[in-house]
Amino acid sequence: MPIQRKTPAKKTTRKTHPARLIGDGAGSSSTPPKKPSLILLEDSVVRSRNKFPTPQFHGAFPPGFLHPGSSISVSHFTLQDVGRILEEAAELEAMPVFRRAQRFAKRRVALLFYESSTRTRTSFELAAKSLGADTVLVSALSSSIEKGESLKDTGITLRSLGAECIILRHPNSGAPYLLGRATGLPILNAGDGSHEHPSQALLDLRAILAHFPAKKGETARRKHAITDRTLDGITVTIVGDILHSRVARSNALLLPRLGARVIFCGPEVLLPEYAAAIGTGVEIERDFERALKQSNVVMMLRIQKERLSGLEIDLEDYMEQYQLHMERLAAYAPTAMILHPGPMIRGLEITSAVADGPNSAVAEQVYHGSIIRMALLARALDAKPGKNERSSRSR
């Protein structure tokens, strides 16, 4: 029996299509915002992201748009940027702890979290602390903060209190752009609605590179330069709720640029046909076992029930077709590396035997997350806005 949708297909698909939901409250399940609170649709970068297919925007921010230390979308990074971030990560990883703690001593970093998080928040916070920075956490979870103006005001308040960088998690796709424009500070996107989770894609990349040792003669290439061939021959299958996943989106925007093949796998209700148009190098395979046979890396995703907005999934069917369990893994991808961004719903998309089994690299992902987040923070705190960059004060 196929996975059922109890609400009319067209209507809900349109409602939840992440590419069309920039800034319109994609993430809030219970209280859809009345009006787009993010008024950035006028800006070229945001406007172009709202079209399909996703534009290729690899490079510096246009002058005056956002602080150059920001990490909001992987599409802003050139391959050179990615290489530099990985290099910085390796340097910070190798640095003696006490020296690392001097690197940004007493600099101020704010974490602004409008959605819950364990890994991302903790690893950003510990990363900032291990660089010597002072951190403050503002969590909007328990308040009924309205989006838009109050996000802007909160950002301005944090800046007035001396924050030099803001790490933002927000249920609305595009919120980091608003905060960046409002404050002029570097913004690190820790997940915005169904849009992006760039630090997750970078940590997944680092985990993949560490897992597949470079062949002879490739070490230099892997270590010092990221190219469009770095992940040649590697097929990454991303499985499950692709429609709502910012992790899937950031990975699918990044990995094919390094030569990887990305397969999206899932039922139509969570993976519409148009998803493959996100970029070249991305394909759809509905049959999980056929996808597994081709995979070197399998990334399992949680069903994002907070973003389903009326979609109803028949979980029994879903598990029958898409759960990663030991028999399936052993039969179709016995050597594949298994990733999961967390939180894992054991017994639903993945069984405990797989999550804790020899193929699982979930713990490695968390480790690489803390290193990558140090590198992104270093990039943010080192960057200076250029002459042409206007801060919000001049607007």
Closer residue to ligand ASP (CB): 4 or 118: 118
Torsion angle defined by CA atoms of residues 305, 310, 316 and 318, in that order, rounded to the nearest 10 degrees = -70
Nearer to ligand ASP, 226 or 255 (CB): 255
- DSSP string of 17-39, one letter each residue: -GGG-TTTTTT-SSS--SS----
Q: Per CB under 6 A, does 15 bind ligand ASP?
A: no
Which of these, 212, 252, 253, 250, lies nearest to 230 by C-alpha position?
Answer: 212
Q: Which residue is nearest to ligand ASP (CB)?
A: 118
Of 162, 213, 343, 347, the residue at the interface with ligand ASP (CB under 6 A) is 343
Query: Minimum CB separation from ligand ASP for residue 191, in Å?
Result: 4
User: Contact 58/76 with Cβ under 8 angstroms?
Assistant: yes
Residues 4, 56, 118, 352: which binds ligand ASP (CB under 6 A)?
A: 118
CA 264 – CA 297 distance, rounded (Å): 12
The Cα angle at residue 176 between residues 174 and 181, in degrees rounded to 5: 105
Q: How many residues bind ligand ASP (CB under 6 A)?
A: 13
Q: Is residue 119 part of the contact set for ligand ASP (CB under 6 A)?
A: yes
Toward ligand ASP, which CB reaches closer, 103 or 302?
Answer: 302
- Based on CB atoms, which residue is closest to ligand ASP, 18 or 272? 18
37, 73, 75, 117: which one binds ligand ASP (CB under 6 A): 117
72 interacts with ligand ASP by CB under 6 A: no
Q: Which is nearer to ligand ASP, 200 or 359 (CB)?
A: 200
Name residue 168's beta-bridge partners: 112, 189
Q: Give least dist CB 318 to ligand ASP, A.
A: 15
- Please give the residues from 299 up to 328 whose contact with ligand ASP meets the rule CB under 6 A: 302, 304
Interaction between residue 48 and ligand ASP (CB under 6 A) = no
> By CB under 6 A, which span of 49-57, 126-134, 339-347, 353-361 interacts with ligand ASP?
339-347
Q: Is 246 in the site for ligand ASP (CB under 6 A)?
A: yes
Contacts of 115 (CB under 8 A, 6+ apart): 27, 141, 169, 170, 171, 191
Q: How many CB atoms lie within 10 A of CB 7?
A: 14
In the complex, least distance from residue 206 CB atom to ligand ASP, rounded to whole angstroms: 15
* Residues 284-303 interacting with ligand ASP (rule: CB under 6 A): 302
CA-only gyration radius of the chain, Å: 20
Query: Quick check: helix, strand or coil at residue 168?
Result: strand
The only residue of 12, 120, 173, 230 in contact with ligand ASP, by rule CB under 6 A: 120
**Of 181, 153, 156, 180, whose CA–CA distance to 167 is shortest?**
180
d(Cα 148, Cα 35) in Å, to the nearest integer? 10
Select the residue interacting with ligand ASP from 68, 191, 198, 266 (CB under 6 A).
191
> What does the alpha-carbon distance between residue 82 and residue 90 come to, in Å, rounded to a whole number?
12
Residues that bind ligand ASP (CB under 6 A): 117-120, 191, 197, 246-247, 302, 304, 341-343
